[in-house]
Amino acid sequence: MTAPKKVWEYRTLITNLAMRDLRSRYKKSVLGWLWSLINPATTLAIYTVVFGVFLGVEAPVAGNGHSKLFALYLFSALVAWNSFASGVNIAMQSFLAAGGLLTRTYFPPEVPVIAGSLTVLTQTAVETVILIVFMAIIGNLGWTTLIVFPILLLLTAFAFGIGMIVSLLNVRYRDVAYLVALGIQVLFYATPIVYSEDIAAKHPWAADLLKLNPMTHFVGAMRHSVYLLKAPTLLNWVAMILATTIMTLLGWRVFSTKAPRYIEEI
Amino acid sequence: MAGSIEVRGVSKEFRLQADRPTSIKEFVTRRGRDKTATHFWALDDVSIDIPEGSMYALVGHNGSGKSTLLRCIAGIYRPDTGHVKASGRISTLLELGAGFHPDLSGRENVYLNATILGMTKKQIDAKFDEIVDFAGVEQFIDSPVKVYSSGMYVRLGFSVAVHVQPEILIIDEVIAVGDEQFQRKCFDHLYGLRRQGVTIVVVTHGMGTVETMCDGAAWLDHGVLQMEGPAIEVAAAYLKKVNDAEAEDRASHRTVSATSGATTESVDGPGEIEILAIEVRDASGAPTTTVEHGEGMQIAIVYRAHTALEDLVFGHAIHTDNGVLVAGTNTQRHGLETGRVEPGLGEALFVIDECPLIEGHYEVTGAINDRHVQHTFDRRDRETRLLVRRGTTRAGVGVVDIAGDWKVRPPQQGLTVLPAPPEEF
């Protein structure tokens, strides 16, 4: 197993790899960095129109006591969701992409995956800042707003843990990429993002099932702290910390014992 | 001890791609199949010791496991059995521009590549100018590396690899990509590093490099260690094996072509005498096409005379494969009277004690003329090919080795600078 200490020695490389990805990502595109805002903005617009306007899903009253904006209610959940979905995907991509390097020079195989997570974290940070700016505009800020930072850090680690496992499997079985894409799509609707937990509560079995999904708790905690301006529930905290701890430890263990062999197959 | 490498009983098995299920469907349907047939051992129980501060070569033909061994030493591959102990900071240069991102500039890539090799930003800042200067790419350092030529690519890659202050430097055959001048610069630099105590492991096909630069060498064949020891001995043994194998190969070809019965056309001979073959033979007189530099050899003109002839002149010439005449002579120039030749089969032999030709491809010509060298009875122009191999004796460069001895006089009284002789032409 690779010791975290060993990986820490390569911290310069981690940041350099992350910087490389960020720098080269929008090279040769006219809009450049704007793309990282256009994509989530478009998703947000589509969901707002389809679910908020056409289907008439209503947002609860925000923490300031008067606003009731479905778009922001949705945005606070989407920030968390995007972080998770991109986190899992980037792990697969960056491990595959680093294959060429890993067969030519030695460095711990965790390094590119961590670097990938860092790029996602950067993107998430940008989206979070925009979210908070919007919340400030409607006057919906409170001390709980600060809780989004630990939540998103936990979420990044959670996605990193899952990402390490699927990125290994993806090297051996190329079905995994398709399965993951499918799984993420299913999970999106199995998480209260475009609807609220209260709606699901009309079907008791569904509400119970939702509680088994760790993402329900991440998204719920986000909405509590940034939209409703309430502290996340104890259940949210327990589920988030437990899920993150288990997935990170498991992912690290599996990855660091198996990756050296899998590299030869990339 | 920093810089020493210990390889003990290392074996590495690879699966052939066909064996591995790449989808879950295959995984289910292919279970329980015999897998032993599709595995092979890239390295089989290899043990070597590379002392600190030495330059060490891995030799062997393609696919012999050299690169796999390098990767095991570098820690990229994990051996299946045995272990590798390489203490100290390892820098690798295994492939052309490994770690270079085509869209990023040379500057960004230097930083990235150097951090992969374990340097911190501060250390790179301090070495940056030196790296760029050595590679000679100052003008292009802010252009994306995808516009670099392959030479610039390898120069920059090499420059980074040698400037990261490694204790162990591992280099695959990449240096061969650079031009002559850069290669020399590389080797000079490697030499300097070795003097500073850096352990250098190289894979190379250039036996000259092995003999002149390396202390030790290991020869691998199909993953099995054939020989380990002083570089000169290993290089000589390896070369001998390669030459023998080639001679055998040529011999088997020869028997095939002999039976196909190629007919000969005479140049302008009326058919009184014809050349059946121009042969290259080894010192013992056995036909060959491969000769080692410094070994004995013979050139034979095999003829059939149809009538009795007198005072023939036999001649031979050797050309390089790009048409430069190296040497040529005939029986008349050697003052040899050939006398009367009766009808029948005969041969004229030119015996060379030590082949002065330097490794390369040559073509042999043979001819039979009348006594005035006016009329050519038969001639075979550059039809016989000769391959000269680097032998165990050291040769200079060029086409032939000029025999001579060096005498170097230390500064002393009585030595004066003589005026240059007058130009005569």
Provide, as residue numbers in chain B, all residues whose Cβ is less than 8 Å from the Cβ of A265. 20
pLDDT digit string (tens) for B373-402? 777 888 887 888 898 988 877 777 888 888
The residue with tokens 């990986």 is A7
Q: Is residue B116 part of a domain?
A: yes
pLDDT at B255: 52
- What is the average pLDDT value for chain A, to the nearest integer? 90
CB contact under 8 A, B76 and A100: no
Q: Are residues B229 and B274 in the same domain?
A: no
Provide, as residue numbers in chain B, all residues whose Cβ is less than 8 Å from the Cβ of A166. none
Q: Are residues B275 and B211 in the same domain?
A: no
pLDDT at B266: 37
pLDDT at B265: 38
Q: Does B98 touch chain A (CB under 8 A)?
A: yes
CA-to-CA distance for B151 and B161, rounded, in angstroms?
15
Q: Is the pLDDT score of B268 beyond 60? A: no
Which are the contacts of B118, defined by CB distance < 8 A and separation ≥ 6?
A9, A10, A13, A107, B89, B91, B164
Provide, as residue numbers in chain B, all residues whose Cβ is less than 8 Å from the Cβ of A103. 71, 76
DSSP state of B372: T
pLDDT, average across residues B140-150: 89
Beta strands in B165-213 (DSSP E): 168-171, 199-203
Q: Are residues B227 and B287 in the same domain?
A: no
Task: Give the pairing of strands B376-389 and B290-292.
Answer: parallel
Q: Is residue B123 part of a domain?
A: yes
pLDDT at A58: 83
- What are the angstrom distances between the C-alpha of B416 and each of A182, B408, B412? 91, 15, 10
Q: Is the Cα dihedral B58, B64, B69, B71 positive or negative?
A: positive
Q: Is residue B181 part of a domain?
A: yes
Q: Does B181 touch chain A (CB under 8 A)?
A: no
Facing residues of B180 across strands? Answer: none
CA-based Rg of chain B, rounded to a whole angstrom? 29
pTM comes to 0.69
pLDDT at B19: 53
CA-to-CA distance for B171 and A221, rounded, in angstroms?
53
Q: Is the pLDDT score of A190 beyond 60? A: yes
- Selection from B136, B24, B223 nearest residue A179 by Cα: B24
Q: Is the pLDDT score of B20 beyond 80? A: no
Q: Is residue B29 part of a domain?
A: no
Q: Are residues B50 and B180 in the same domain?
A: yes
Q: Does B123 touch chain A (CB under 8 A)?
A: no
pLDDT digit string (tens) for A129-158? 999 999 999 999 999 999 999 999 999 999
Domains of chain B: total: 2
How many angstroms away from the CA of A232 is the closest CA of chain B? 40
pLDDT at B260: 41
The CATH number that applies at residue B95 is 3.40.50.300
Q: Are residues B100 and B168 in the same domain?
A: yes
Q: Are residues B160 and B286 in the same domain?
A: no
CA-to-CA distance for A171 and A102, rounded, in angstroms?
13
CB atoms within 10 A of CB B409: 6
pLDDT at B258: 45
CB contact under 8 A, A105 and B104: no
Q: Are residues B353 and B283 in the same domain?
A: yes
pLDDT, average across residues B242-253: 70
Q: Does B99 touch chain A (CB under 8 A)?
A: yes
Range of the domain at B66: 4-20+35-237
How many angstroms away from the CA of B208 is the closest CA of chain A? 26
Q: Is residue B121 part of a domain?
A: yes
Q: Is residue B261 part of a domain?
A: no
| CB A25 within 8 Å of CB A123 | no
Q: Is the pLDDT score of A104 beyond 90? A: no
How many angstroms away from the CA of A102 is the closest CA of chain B? 7
How many angstroms away from the CA of A105 is the closest CA of chain B? 6
Q: Is the Cα dihedral B408, B409, B411, B416 positive or negative?
A: negative
The CATH number that applies at residue B343 is 2.70.50.60
- Selection from B306, B321, B308 nearest residue B275 by Cα: B306
B389, B404, B420: which is the final residue of a domain? Answer: B389
Q: Are residues B182 and B274 in the same domain?
A: no
Q: Are residues B60 and B138 in the same domain?
A: yes
Q: Are residues B282 and B337 in the same domain?
A: yes
Tell me the pLDDT band of A231, cut-offs 50, 70 and 90: very high
CB contact under 8 A, A103 and B71: yes
pLDDT at B189: 86
Q: What is the distance, to the nearest Å, from the Cα of residue B41 to the centroid of all Cα atoms in its chain?
A: 26
Q: Is residue B400 part of a domain?
A: no
B187, B217, B237: which is the final residue of a domain? Answer: B237
pLDDT at B281: 92
pLDDT at B415: 75
Facing residues of B6 across strands? Answer: B49, B85
The DSSP annotation for A55-124 comes to: S-PPPPPPTTSS---HHHHHHHHHHHHHHHHHHHHHHHHHHHHTHHHHTTS---THHHHHHHHHHHHHHH
pLDDT, average across residues A178-196: 93
Q: Are residues B41 and B140 in the same domain?
A: yes
ipTM above 0.85, yes or no: no
Which are the contacts of B414, defined by CB distance < 8 A and separation ≥ 6?
none
Q: Is residue B152 part of a domain?
A: yes
Q: Are residues B293 and B162 in the same domain?
A: no
pLDDT digit string (tens) for B48-64? 999 998 999 999 888 88
pLDDT at B261: 39
Tell me the pLDDT band of B213, cut-offs 50, 70 and 90: confident
Residue B318 in tokens: 């050797």
Tell me the pLDDT band of B31, cut-offs 50, 70 and 90: low
